[in-house]
Structures are given as C-alpha cells and as structure tokens.
Amino acid sequence: MANLYMALADKTRLRLLNLMREQEVCVGYFTDVLGDSQPKISRHLAYLRNVGIVQARRDGKWIYYRIKWPEDRAIAAVIDATLGSLSVQSACRSDMKMYARSFGSNGVEYDRSEQRLDKYAQADVRVDDDKFDDSHSSHNELEEFLL
C-alpha cells in the first residue's frame, strides 16, 4: 500500500491516471495534453507500471497505456476514489477536454466523459483546487531515486 500511495502522491502521475480513466492512451498524446517531455512522461508511466496499476500494449511503433485494475478490492477502491476526486479538479477537467478536442472523435467521447465526470461533481464533493497545486512540494530522497 505504501508504494501505491507514493505513486498517487505526484501531480503528473495523477494527471496521467486521469487521462487513462476511460481509455488507453499513447505516450505522444500524454505529452501533447500535459505539455511535458516524452522522457518525463515515460518515467512516470514506468513508475505506475512498477506499482502495478498501469499496463502497456505495443501496437507497432506505438505503446498504449491503460489502468490495470487490481484484484485486491481495497486497492481498487483507493484508485476509484482517487479518480473520483480528480474528476472535479479543474486541471484534470481541462486535460480531459484538451484530450477530447485533440484526439476524440467528433466530441462524442468527450460528451460521455463529461457525463461521468459530472456524476462526481454532483456528489457534493468539496475540493480545494489550491491544494492540488504541488509547485511548492518537495520529493523525498527515496522518491527522487525511484524517479
């Protein structure tokens, strides 16, 4: 569980999981939506794979990533709750909109995602977007080594 919580303690990894909530995603799409470099995205995806909550599929030159739902119900519940809380974060909602505009088919996928995201927003979830900003946070030495 400690490794899972360490994986969920990084803003970039949370944004990656958010984008994978509905579909598998290629690294190039992550870089376009998040605006980060391919090596940084790949490093975070490797971290999530090592924890066991993301899996990859190769299709020619492309590698697609998706959430791998664990059999352990407690771990699955933590991931589900995390995705639920991300759905009301303005940064994550913006990521989903950008992804749908850039890579969705005529906005249909985006409309479905918006309906699912609104389900969480209507659940009277109180979220402070300022708490999601990790620009002032620091990593401990172990996490820096693992990254």
Alpha helices in the chain (DSSP H): 2-7, 11-19, 27-34, 38-51, 73-86, 90-103, 108-121, 129-132, 141-146
Query: What's the pLDDT band for 147 if we cut at 50, 70, 90?
Result: low
Q: How does pLDDT run across 26-58, given as a tens digit for each residue?
A: 998 999 999 999 999 999 999 999 999 999 999
Q: How does pLDDT run across 64-109, given as a tens digit for each residue?
A: 999 999 999 999 999 999 999 998 888 889 999 988 888 874 333 4
Mean pLDDT, residues 130-146: 47
In a domain, 46, yes or no: yes
Burial environment of residue 24 by CB neighbours within 10 A (0 to 12, 13 to 18, 19 or more):
middle
Supply the pLDDT for residue 81. 95
CATH of the domain at 104: 1.10.10.10
CA–CA distance, 28 with 38 (Å, rounded to integer):
7
Average pLDDT, the chain: 78
**Residue span of the structural domain in which 32 resides:** 2-130
In a domain, 138, yes or no: no
Q: How many domains does the chain have?
A: 1
CA–CA distance, 1 with 36 (Å, rounded to integer):
28
In a domain, 140, yes or no: no
In a domain, 72, yes or no: yes
